[in-house]
Amino acid sequence: MTNRRKMIAGNWKMNGTHKLVATMVNTLAENTTDQADIVLFPPYVYLSDMIHQAKNTSIAVGAQNCAVHLQGAYTGEVSATMLEEMGCRYVIVGHSERRALYGETNELVAQKVAAVMSCQLTPVLCIGETAAQREAGETMTVLQDQLAVVLNRSEGTTILSKMVIAYEPVWAIGTGKTATPELAQETHSQIRQFLAQYSPVIAEQVILLYGGSVKADNAAALSSMPDIDGFLVGGASLDPTQFLLICQAAIKGR
C-alpha cells in the first residue's frame, strides 16, 4: 500500500477569465479539504489574482510554462524567479502542446526543469507518446528519452525526488479518447520501473499524474489504479462542478 499523496491539477491552457478564477477557487475551497494537493494552472495574467483569491485555502497555484533563462533581454518571456516571487509553487514543463507547437526539445525541457528547481518551485514534467509512436511500439523508448535527458545529470536523483511527472499520451489530449485505466496503469508502472534505475526508493515516492481527456465519469476508475496518483486535467478543469467531482473521485480512489 502506497502512502503517496494524491494530486489533482487543472491546466487551463489559454482559457479562463477573472470571473472563473473567483468561481473556481470558491467552489474548491468550500468543498474540499487538504486531503490531496489541488493545484491550478491558469494563464500568466490570472496568476496574481488566483494567488490572492487562494490565500488562506489549501489550493496551490502554478504556471503553465516559464523561460529557460532567469532574467535578461528575452522579450515576452516570464522567468521562474518571477513566478516564485509572486507566490507560485509549481511550473508545468514540457507540455506536449509546447513540444509540438513551439518546438520545445527534450534538451530545452531539461534546462527549464533546472531553472524551475533553482527557484525552489516544483516542476510538473509532462511526457507522452503520439498515436503513431504507440502503434509502432515505441511508447517506452519515447518516454524514457523524455525522462533521461532530465535525469541524466549529476543531480538527477535530487531532481527526481522533487518533481512531479505527468504522463499525458498525446492521442488522449483534448480528443475524448482517454487511456483505459489498464493501459494507463501499465504505462505508469513501466515509468516507475524506469525511474527505479535512478533510485528504487525515490521511484516509489514520485507522484505520477495521468492526463488526457480526464472527466468526472472516468476519474474514479483511473484513480483506483495503484500507480496513478492523480490527474493533470485540461478541458474539464474549466468547469468548477466537473473539476470538483474529479478531485473528489481522485481523493476517494485507491
CB 92 within 8 A of CB 41: yes
Identify the active-site residue in 84, 104, 129, 168.
Answer: 168
Question: In what helix (H) or strand (E) does residue 10 lie, and over which residues does it extend?
Answer: strand 7-11
Task: Pick one of 149, 219, 232, 244: the residue that binds ligand 13P (CB under 6 A).
Answer: 232
User: For ligand 13P, which is the closer residue by CB, 167 or 198?
Assistant: 167
Q: Which of 95, 97, 129, 188 is flagged as catalytic?
A: 95
52 carries an active-site annotation: no
Does 211 engage in binding with ligand 13P (CB under 6 A)?
A: yes
**DSSP code at position 95:** -
Q: Is residue 242 within the footprint of ligand 13P (CB under 6 A)?
A: no
Between residues 173 and 208, which has the closer beta carbon with respect to ligand 13P?
173
In angstroms, rounded to a whole number, what is the distance separating the alpha carbons of residues 68 and 71? 9
Q: State which residue, 62 or 235, has the beta carbon closest to ligand 13P.
A: 235
Q: Is 213 in the site for ligand 13P (CB under 6 A)?
A: yes
Size of the site for ligand 13P (CB under 6 A): 14
Give CA–CA dist 240/28, Å, rounded. Answer: 8
Question: Contact letters (x/-) for ligand 13P, 144-183, by CB under 6 A?
Answer: ------------------------x----xx---------
Q: Which of 114, 137, 126, 93 is nearest to 211 (CA)?
A: 126
Ordered DSSP codes for 33-73: -TTSEEEEE--HHHHHHHHHHTTTSSEEEEES---SSSSSS
> How far from 196 is each of 14, 67, 142, 229, CA to CA, in Å?
35, 30, 17, 17
Cβ proximity of 10 and 227 under 8 Å: no
Site string for ligand 13P, 82-111 (x = CB under 6 A): -------------x----------------
Q: Where in the sequence numbering do the catalytic residues fall?
A: 95, 168
Residues near ligand 13P, by CB under 6 A: 11, 95, 168, 173-174, 211-214, 232-236
